[in-house]
Structure 1
Amino acid sequence: MRELVVVDIGGTHARFAIASIGADGAISLDEPETLHTADHASFQTAWEAFRTRKGGTLPAAVSMAIAGPVGSPGNPNPVIRFTNNPWIIRPALINEKLGVERFTLVNDFAAVAHAVARADDSQFLHLAGPEKPLGSEGTISVLGPGTGLGVAHLWRSGRQYRVQATEGGHIDFAPLDSIEDAILARLRRRHNRVSVERVVAGPGIVDIYQALAALEQRTVPERDAIEIWNLGTSGQDSLAAAAVDRFCLSLGSVAGDVALAQGGFAGVVIAGGLGYRIRDTLLASGFAERFRAKGRFENLMAGIPVKLIVHPQPGLFGAAAAFVAEHGEAA
C-alpha cells in the first residue's frame, strides 16, 4: 500500500486528502479537508496547515490538480499563477518547499478525465443514449459546467488510457433557435466573441434569464446566478425554471458538438457539482434530444452513452490516478 497527498486547488478552495494506492492499483481516499485559499498566504502555508491537522507528518509524494495550465512538454516548469487567488507555485521548488520526493501536476479537468477512466460503473448516472457502460475502447469526451466550462477527453484501450486537457470551453456558441439568437445578441453587446462557456456555465444562467425576460417584455429584479439556480430548480419562479431548462438544452447541444469534434463515440461524461445538482432537471429536459440533433449524424449520436459522474471527489481521485499514470503504482 502506497500513500500520497492529493490536492484539488481552485480559486476559492483547496481540498486535501490522503490517497492510498493498493497493490492492485485500486485508489481510496480518506476524508477530504477543505481550506479557504483566502485564509492562507501561500500554498506552502496551506500545506503546512494540513500537515499540522494530520499530526505533523505527510507522505513523501503529492499530486495536485490545478485550475489552470500546468505546463507542456516544451515548457515543463512554468510559474503557476491562479486567476482568483494570489498563490504562486514554482514546480522547480516543490520537492524542497513541501519536503516530498515525487510530485505530479495536472490540470483540474484532466484530473476529472483521469477519474472517469478509473471510476467503476457505480460512479456514473445514466443521462442519455443507450443504457450501457462507457466503452472500454476508444475516446470518451468529458465536460463540466462550473464557473467556466471544463473540457477534456481520454482515449483508452482496456486498462490503458491517455488523457488530454483542452480549452474546448472557448469554442464559439452556436444558436439553434430564435431564443438562443436573443441570448447571443445580449452577450454580443458585451463581448466581441461569445464562447460556449458564456452560456453553458454557472454564471451564464443570469444572461439566459435576462434574455428570456426581455423576450416577454418583462421587468424582473436583478438576481445573481445562485438565486436564479435556486428559484429555477425548485420551480418557485417559472421564468427561472425556463432559464434552467434552456441551459440544459444548450448543454446538450454543446456536449454533442464536443463528442463530434473529439470523436467521443465511446461515451460522453458530464462532470462537476453543477451537473450533479441539476441531474433531475437534466433527465426531464430536452438535453438528450439536443445531444442527438446533429442532422445526418443523429443515428450516430443516438448510439453514444452519456453519463454523469457522481464520485464525490473526482478532482482528488483523479489527481491520485494521474500520479499513478505518471509514476506507476509502486512509486
Structure 2
Amino acid sequence: MTTDLVALDIGGTHARFAKATIGNDGAIALDEPITLRTSDYASLNTAWEDFARRSAQPVPRNAAIAIAGPVTGETVRMTNNSWVLHPSRLDDQLGLDEVTLINDFGAVAHAAARADASDFLHLAGPDRPLPETGTISVIGPGTGLGVAQFHRFADGTYHVQATEGGHIDFAPLDGIDDAILARLRARHRRVSVERVVSGPGIVDIHAALAALEGRPVPDLADKAIWQAGLEGGDALAVAAIDRFCLALGSVAGDLALAHGARAVVIAGGLGYRIRDTLVASGFAGRFRFKGRYEQMMAAMPVKLITHPQPGLFGAAAAFAREHLT
C-alpha cells in the first residue's frame, strides 16, 4: 500500500509544494512542484489554500513540511520571512491526519542520505562516493546559509541532525576578508557567516572590493551582481564571486571539522549555479587550509547534490522515517 502526502519546502523567498507518493519499498516519487513566493502570502494557511486551488487532484491528508528555521517549542518563527507556525495546531489548521515538521536543511540532509550516486557532482578532494559510514556535513548557501549533518551507521540506517550552523561567527583569513567584516560590522551588531556566505552576501563582498580599489560603491541588487559575475563581463562582479567561493570553502571546512565529518555535500540552487566556478576557484584550497589538519581535509570528498528538489524529497523521506517505519 502506498502513502500519499504533500511535501512542502518553505524557504526565505519561496514555498514549494508537491504531492509525494511513498511506495511499499520506501521509494519516493514527487509530482511537479508548485512554487509560490512567501512574500505574497500572509501565512502558511493562506499559501496552502492557494496550493489546494491550483492542484489538479484532491490534496492528501498527510504533509511533510520543511522550514527555514529551528523547529523547537510551540511557536516556530521563520528565519528569513515573516511566517509563524504553531506545530501542535498544524493538523487542525490544514485539515491533516499526520504531519512531519523538519528544519529545511534537515530535510536536505535526508535527501543527501537517500540520493543515488548519480545525483552528485564532484567538487573537491578525492573523487570517490560518499562514505558508507560516518558523519557527512550538508551546507547550502541560498537566501541564508543552511547547515545540517547526517551520520551513517554500519547497518545501513542513518540519523539526521539539523543545526543553525549558518549563524556562527564569520572568521576573516586575510586583509580582504577583514575589509568585508569591517563593512558588515559597521551595520550589524554581530556578523555571522550567513552575512557573507549567502546569495544576498554578494552585495557586501562586491561593495567591499569596490571600496578597496577606491571605486564608487555600486548600488546593485544581489541578483544583478551574480548575473554579471557569472556572465564574465564585469571584472569586479567576477572577483566578488571568486571571493564568495573562498569564503564558502573556509566555512565548509570549519563546519566539517566541527561535525567530525568524513565528507561534505554542498546543496541548493546557488551552489548548482556556480558549480563550475567553485571547481575553478580557490574553494578547495580554502577548504583544506586548516593548519595541522590540512592533510586530513585534503582526503575528504566534497560533493554537490544535483537532485532537482532535495528539500521536497528529503521532507518526504523524513515523513517516512517518522510515520512509516
Q: Same fold (TM over 0.5)?
A: yes
Give the letter aligned to residue 284 of structure 1: A
Indicate the percent of aligned positions where both proteins have the same amino acid.
Answer: 66
Give the letter aligned to residue 247 of structure 1: F
Partner residue in 1 for 2:177: 180
CA shift for structure 1 position 41: 4.1
5 Å-filtered alignment, 1:197-236, equals 197-236=194-233
Query: Aligned partners of 2:235, 2:150: CA distance in 1, in Å?
Result: 39
Cα displacement string for residues 150-193 of structure 1 (whole angstroms, at most 9, x for unaligned residues): 11111111521111111111112111111112212222222343
CA shift for structure 1 position 82: 3.3
Give the letter aligned to residue 256 of structure 1: G
Partner residue in 1 for 2:304: 308
Partner residue in 1 for 2:33: 32
Partner residue in 1 for 2:64: 63
Partner residue in 2 for 1:13: 14
TM-score by length of 2: 0.94
CA shift for structure 1 position 86: 4.6
CA shift for structure 1 position 212: 1.2
Give the letter aligned to residue 123 of structure 1: D
CA shift for structure 1 position 245: 0.3
Q: CA RMSD in A?
A: 1.7
Query: Aligned partners of 1:308, 1:6: CA distance in 2, in Å?
Result: 22
CA shift for structure 1 position 8: 1.0
Cα displacement string for residues 60-118 of structure 1 (whole angstroms, at most 9, x for unaligned residues): 211100111222xxx3xx12333555543322222223222111000111111111111
Contact 2:12 2:144 in 1 (8 A): no
Give the letter aligned to residue 44 of structure 1: N
Aligned positions, number: 323
Query: Aligned partners of 2:68, 2:246: CA distance in 1, in Å?
Result: 26
Q: Does 1:169 align with 2:166?
A: yes
Query: Aligned partners of 1:87, 1:223: CA distance in 2, in Å?
Result: 27
Q: Does 1:277 align with 2:273?
A: yes
Worse-matched range after superposition: 9-18 or 80-89 = 80-89
2:128 is paired with a residue of what secondary structure?
A: coil
CA shift for structure 1 position 220: 4.3
**Cα gap change, 1:155 to 1:88, in 2 (>3 Å):** same
CA shift for structure 1 position 133: 0.6
Partner residue in 2 for 1:244: 241
Query: Aligned partners of 2:40, 2:201: CA distance in 1, in Å?
Result: 28
Cα displacement string for residues 194-224 of structure 1 (whole angstroms, at most 9, x for unaligned residues): 2111111111111111111122112243112
CA shift for structure 1 position 51: 2.5
Partner residue in 2 for 1:262: 259
Partner residue in 2 for 1:323: 319
1:136 is paired with a residue of what secondary structure?
A: coil
Partner residue in 2 for 1:132: 128
Contact 2:75 2:84 in 1 (8 A): yes
Query: Aligned partners of 1:246, 1:84: CA distance in 2, in Å?
Result: 24
2:180 is paired with a residue of what secondary structure?
A: helix
CA shift for structure 1 position 56: 5.8
Cα displacement string for residues 25-70 of structure 1 (whole angstroms, at most 9, x for unaligned residues): 1111011111233444432233233223334622221110011122
Query: Aligned partners of 1:182, 1:54: CA distance in 2, in Å?
Result: 49
Give the letter aligned to residue 90 of structure 1: H
1:19 is paired with a residue of what secondary structure?
A: strand
1:44 is paired with a residue of what secondary structure?
A: helix
Query: Aligned partners of 1:5, 1:96: CA distance in 2, in Å?
Result: 15
Which residues of structure 2 form unaligned runs of 5+? none
Partner residue in 1 for 2:109: 113
1:139 is paired with a residue of what secondary structure?
A: strand
Worse-matched range after superposition: 85-94 or 128-137 = 85-94
Contact 2:141 2:197 in 1 (8 A): yes
